[in-house]
């Protein structure tokens, strides 16, 4: 498994703290690690070459900041450069024209149709009236898919009669939008291979016919080395204005986006973060940079935590911890809150330095540890949850049977909880305790 770059560099360069400058040899070592890390993240090897050359220049002989060791210094330079690259271009979604036309293009299976629906929903949210236009007459049921998605959003979908040429579908779609007073047209085009000259010429013609204000290339975050060539081929066929990076909710590092931005200068405008139509997020260069480096994505974690956590509940839990009255009931609440934030492994991955633990955590979830803990607590009476000291052998047997676990597991949980309470008591009286999670 891929180690976080910062971890790797800490291993190779960590001992260098205290040297005044980073030596040439140190930089070489570091660049090897940086190169591997970027390649494992699917950054194109040519981009990696340029990139490491640039970082090497900056790192060689640069002063090590007092607060950082050599490894951290290199990570900082790499991170700065990555963020700069990813910040290329203008990330706002332009909606000039009446109707404003947005065209989505890309390879098969990159997520164009789903993205079209997500964009439509986004556009409704900002107070506009979108029309979805199905411009994929090739894939079986592609039009049905868009119609279904449109219906689920309560939005109109325009589909031309079978046999209509694709540029004509675009023209008719725009005319239909004017007629129905829709101010934004979202064109869902067919997936096409860049080698397919006929289809590439077709998309060129379509774009010429409808003059979109935004022509977005939809790119799968799991794409490999060819992503750059694909983007260049599309850029040659149509004037692209940006990228949508989809399926970023998996564990791909998304280096393809970096490659494309670096080579074409196109900005990433949106991220597709799930299968539902609301899973479209604005793009933050610094976060993707961190993700590519495996440095964790603390900001997204905090945002998710803020979304998932009920602030007052968290305050209460913190207060209870401090007063030592934190019960199994509260623990159950906390468990539920954590679950709301998504797969635990994914959550851990976002915390710098915990990348390695992510798998472990996910394993424990997969084994059902959390669910079992939950089941055990749920099998207790209110009285037992408040005061586990009353749990005698007979009660424990009942709880084990009720939760489908073993007495051993019940014992373990009670013991763990006891130790936790003890720890809390020791900490009490000292500095103010922060909440259990995030606050």
| Residue ranges binding other proteins (CB under 8 A) | 35-36, 39-42, 44-46, 49, 107-111, 138-142, 144-149, 152, 193-195, 220-230, 232-233, 236, 247, 249-253, 255-256, 263, 275, 343, 345-346, 362, 365-366
Query: CA–CA separation, 353 vs 298, rounded Å?
Result: 11
Closest to other proteins by CB, 107 or 400 = 107
Query: CA–CA separation, 295 vs 299, rounded Å?
Result: 12
CA 286, 224, 341, 114 dihedral sign is positive
The distance of closest approach from Cβ of residue 252 to other proteins in the complex, given in angstroms and rounded to an integer, is 4
Exposed / middle / buried, residue 205 (Cβ in 10 Å: 0-12, 13-18, 19+): middle
The distance of closest approach from Cβ of residue 199 to other proteins in the complex, given in angstroms and rounded to an integer, is 10
Provide the β-strand partners of residue 157: 132
- Whether the link from the prior residue into 99 is cis, omega within 30° of 0, is yes
The distance of closest approach from Cβ of residue 55 to other proteins in the complex, given in angstroms and rounded to an integer, is 17
SS3 100: strand
Contacts for 275 with CB less than 8 Å, ≥ 6 apart: 114
Closest to other proteins by CB, 95 or 257 = 257
How many Cβ atoms are within 10 Å of 175's Cβ, its own excluded?
12
The distance of closest approach from Cβ of residue 247 to other proteins in the complex, given in angstroms and rounded to an integer, is 6
Closest to other proteins by CB, 335 or 436 = 335
The distance of closest approach from Cβ of residue 376 to other proteins in the complex, given in angstroms and rounded to an integer, is 21
The distance of closest approach from Cβ of residue 67 to other proteins in the complex, given in angstroms and rounded to an integer, is 32
Query: CA–CA separation, 354 vs 375, rounded Å?
Result: 27
The distance of closest approach from Cβ of residue 140 to other proteins in the complex, given in angstroms and rounded to an integer, is 4
The distance of closest approach from Cβ of residue 277 to other proteins in the complex, given in angstroms and rounded to an integer, is 10
**DSSP 8-state secondary structure symbol assigned to residue 435:** P
Closest to other proteins by CB, 213 or 344 = 344
The distance of closest approach from Cβ of residue 220 to other proteins in the complex, given in angstroms and rounded to an integer, is 7
Query: CA–CA separation, 100 vs 183, rounded Å?
Result: 6
Query: CA–CA separation, 427 vs 432, rounded Å?
Result: 9
Query: CA–CA separation, 124 vs 130, rounded Å?
Result: 7
Closest to other proteins by CB, 72 or 115 = 115
Backbone phi, psi, residue 285, to 5°: -55, -45
Closest to other proteins by CB, 32 or 378 = 32
Query: CA–CA separation, 145 vs 154, rounded Å?
Result: 14
Closest to other proteins by CB, 256 or 413 = 256
Closest to other proteins by CB, 89 or 402 = 89
The distance of closest approach from Cβ of residue 274 to other proteins in the complex, given in angstroms and rounded to an integer, is 9
Any long-range contacts for 7-11 (C-beta under 8 Å, 24+ apart)?
7/294, 7/353, 7/355, 7/356, 8/33, 8/37, 9/33, 9/34, 9/71, 9/72, 9/74, 9/75, 10/69, 10/71, 10/72, 11/71
Closest to other proteins by CB, 44 or 334 = 44
Closest to other proteins by CB, 39 or 407 = 39
């Amino acid at each position: 498994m891929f180690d976080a770059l910062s971890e790797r560099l800490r291993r190779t360069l960590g001992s260098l703290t205290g040297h005044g400058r980073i030596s040439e040899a140190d930089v070489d070592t570091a660049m090897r690690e940086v190169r591997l890390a970027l390649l494992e993240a699917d950054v194109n090897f040519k981009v990696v070459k340029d990139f490491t050359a640039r970082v090497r220049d900056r790192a060689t002989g640069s002063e090590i900041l007092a607060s950082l060791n050599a490894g951290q210094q290199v990570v900082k330079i790499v991170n700065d450069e990555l963020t700069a690259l990813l910040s290329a271009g203008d990330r706002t979604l332009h909606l000039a024209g009446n109707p404003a036309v947005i065209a989505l293009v890309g390879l098969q299976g990159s997520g164009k149709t789903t993205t079209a629906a997500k964009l439509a929903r986004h556009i409704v949210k900002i107070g506009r009236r979108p029309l979805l236009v199905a411009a994929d007459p090739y894939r079986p049921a592609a039009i049905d898919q868009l119609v279904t998605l449109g219906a689920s959003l309560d939005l109109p979908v325009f589909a031309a009669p079978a046999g209509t040429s694709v540029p004509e579908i675009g023209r008719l779609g725009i005319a239909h939008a004017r007629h129905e007073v829709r101010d934004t047209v979202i064109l869902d085009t067919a997936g096409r291979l860049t080698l397919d000259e006929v289809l590439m010429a077709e998309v060129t013609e379509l774009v010429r016919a409808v003059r979109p204000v935004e022509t977005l290339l939809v790119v799968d975050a799991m794409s490999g080395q060819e992503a750059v060539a694909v983007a260049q081929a599309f850029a040659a066929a149509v004037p692209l204005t940006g990228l949508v990076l989809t399926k970023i909710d998996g564990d791909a590092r998304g280096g393809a986006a970096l490659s494309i931005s670096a080579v074409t200068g196109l900005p990433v405008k949106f991220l597709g973060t799930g299968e539902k139509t609301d899973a479209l997020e604005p793009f933050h260069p610094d976060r993707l940079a961190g993700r590519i480096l495996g440095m964790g994505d603390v900001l997204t974690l905090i945002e998710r935590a803020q979304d998932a956590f009920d602030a007052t509940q968290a305050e209460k839990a913190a207060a209870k911890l401090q007063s030592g009255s934190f019960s199994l009931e509260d623990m159950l609440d906390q468990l539920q809150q954590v679950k709301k934030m998504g797969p635990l492994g994914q959550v851990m991955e976002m915390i710098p330095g915990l990348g390695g633990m992510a798998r472990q955590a996910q394993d424990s979830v997969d084994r059902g540890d959390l669910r079992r803990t939950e089941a055990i607590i749920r099998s207790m009476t209110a009285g037992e949850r408040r005061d586990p000291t009353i749990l005698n052998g007979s009660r424990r047997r009942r709880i084990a049977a009720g939760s489908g676990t073993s007495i051993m597991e019940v014992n373990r949980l009670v013991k763990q909880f006891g130790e936790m309470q003890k720890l809390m008591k020791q900490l009490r009286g000292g500095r103010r305790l922060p909440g259990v999670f995030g606050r």
